[in-house]
Amino acid sequence: MMNNLVCPHCSHSTIHEHFCSNCNKVIPIKALSYFDVFQLSENYNVDMKQLDTKLFELQRCFHPDKFINLSIREQSISLNNSALINQAYKVLKTPLLRAECLLKLKGFDIDKEEVPQHLLLESMEWRESLEVSEDERSIRQLLEEVSYKENNAYKLLTEYFIKELYNQALSIYIELKFYTRFKLEIINKLDLINDTI
Ligand SMILES: [Zn+2]
């Protein structure tokens, strides 16, 4: 996917991915998606070991120290490449961000999706229980409850992505966003309580 590149330094077309085959200078990464940055296929299941190995390789390739004596242009290209690699890594490593990225690639307009009524009701109930929970034990219980739902949702999400049921995957993604946010609220409250003790 990264072939037919034109070198920005010498204008030769080059077959190499990261460095020009003619002048040997660094070339901006031209990737179609975050998956493409790591040459992974667009799947929800990502081999984390492979991802880490590839990250290490790429980071070495574009390490700022390697470019310190080179032109500003090359330094800037390598910095941009590094930033893209780090961003892509963060997205691919984080299940919720990875799901979001995949759904966007499948053409869903995630930000315009509405939260279903049942989820709104459920979250209202949860917020109420969190508000009235003042002791660590009951807050932890709530956290366990949400974590349990979250785990089940991730299992479903994986299954839907494997079966290429993207509409269903989207519904679960919206639920998961909710659980994640609520978990943070619970953890914040736990921290507050522990701080005051
Ligand atoms: Zn070149």
Tell me which residue of 53, 52, 2 sits closest to 32, measured CA to CA.
Answer: 2
pLDDT at 194: 81
Phi, psi of 125 (to 5 degrees): -60, -45
Q: What are the tens digits of pLDDT across the range 21-37? A: 999 999 999 899 999 99
pLDDT over threshold 80, residue 103: yes
Please give the class, per CATH, of domain 5-93: mainly alpha
Tell me which residue of 153, 99, 148, 151 sits closest to 126, measured CA to CA.
Answer: 148
Query: Ligand 1 centroid to 12 CA: how many Å?
Result: 6
Please give the class, per CATH, of domain 110-196: mainly alpha
pLDDT over threshold 50, residue 59: yes
Tell me which residue of 167, 180, 169 sits closest to 123, measured CA to CA.
Answer: 180
Query: Ligand 1 centroid to 11 CA: how many Å?
Result: 6
The token pair at 12 is: 């030769």
Q: Check residue 108 and report its DSSP letter.
A: -
The whole-number average pLDDT for the span 132-139 is: 90
The whole-number average pLDDT for the span 138-163 is: 96
> Rounded to whole angstroms, how far apart are CA atoms 156 and 41?
21
Q: What are the domain boundaries of the chain?
A: 5-93, 110-196
- Residues facing 13 on adjacent strands: 6
In the chain, the percentage of residues whose pLDDT exceeds 70 is 97
> Rounded to whole angstroms, how far apart are CA atoms 112 and 69?
47
Task: Name the more confident of 193 and 182.
Answer: 182
Residues 6+ apart with CB under 8 A from 133: 139, 142, 189
Phi, psi of 131 (to 5 degrees): -65, -40
Query: Ligand 1 centroid to 37 CA: how many Å?
Result: 21
Q: pLDDT class for 3, splitting at 50, 70, 90?
A: low
Query: Ligand 1 centroid to 38 CA: how many Å?
Result: 23
Query: Ligand 1 centroid to 22 CA: how many Å?
Result: 5
pLDDT at 1: 44
The token pair at 168 is: 């269903």
Query: Which DSSP string do the residues of 61-73 spell out, in sequence order?
Result: HT-GGGGTTS-HH
The token pair at 90 is: 């963060």
Q: pLDDT class for 68, splitting at 50, 70, 90?
A: confident
Is the pTM value of this prediction over 0.75?
yes
pLDDT over threshold 80, residue 166: yes
pLDDT at 2: 47
Mean pLDDT across the chain: 92
pLDDT at 197: 57
